[in-house]
Amino acid sequence: MSPRAAWRLEGLGFTEVYDYAPSKVDWFAAGLPMEGELASVPTVCDIARGDVPTCAPRENVGEANERIRGTGWDRFVVVNEERIVLGLLREKELASDPEATAEEAMRPGPTTVRPDTPAKKMAERMHKRGTASVLVTTPDGELVGLMYREDGEHAADEQA
C-alpha cells in the first residue's frame, strides 16, 4: 500500500518522497515510540530489564563467573559488539569449564520476543509454557533486555 501511496505523492508533484517499506510493524517492533489508543498498553519493552548482564563471546566462563558474583543475576547474555544476541550463559553453562569461552559454553539461539508484544499476552503465553523469563530483542536481534514473567503478570494486574 505505501509504495502506491509514494508513487501517488510523486504524481501529485512532491519531489522528495520515501516509502518506509518495512512499515509501522518494524517501527514498533524496535520499541520505538507509538501514538494512538494502543500506546497506553504496557509492552514487554516497558518491563524488560535492560541491565541484564552481558558478556562478549571471547570472555572466559571463569571471568564471567567472577563478574556475576554478588550481583543477584544468574545469567549472562552473550552479545557481539553490536549487542546482537548470540546466546545465553545460565547457571548450568556458568558451572562448565572455566577456561572455555562464552561462545563455546553458551546455549546458542535463545528464544526472543519483540519489544512491542503486549506484556499481558506475553505473561499468559509464558505461564502456559512454564517459562520464567524471555529475552527481548529488536527485529535486528539487538538486545533490549530480559523480561520476567512475574513482571508481566504484575503489569497485567495493574492494567486490569
Partner 1 sequence: MPTTIFRDGVRKLMEEGAQLVDVLPQEEYGQSHLPGAINIPLKELNRETAEQLRRDKPVIAYCHDYL
Q: Of 31, 33, 99, 144, which lies in the binding site for partner 1, with binding defined by CB under 8 A?
A: 33
Q: Of 24, 58, 127, 129, which lies in the binding site for partner 1, with binding defined by CB under 8 A?
A: 24
Q: Is 70 in the site for partner 1 (CB under 8 A)?
A: no
Cβ contacts of residue 6 below 8 Å, gap of 6+? 17, 18, 19
Least distance to partner 1, CB of residue 77, Å = 22
Nearer to partner 1 (CB atom), residue 10 or residue 99? 10
Residue 30 cell numbers, joined: 524496535
- With contacts defined by CB under 8 A, name the span among 15-23, 73-81, 123-131, 145-153 that binds partner 1: 15-23
State which H helix or E strand residue 112 sits in. strand 112-113
Q: Count Cα atoms within 13 angstroms, Cβ side, for 134.
A: 25
Q: What are residue 133's DSSP bridge partners?
A: 148
Least distance to partner 1, CB of residue 11, Å = 10
Whole-angstrom Cα distance, residue 48 to residue 157?
A: 16
User: What is the contact surface with partner 1 in residues (CB under 8 A)?
Assistant: 1-10, 12-28, 30, 32-39
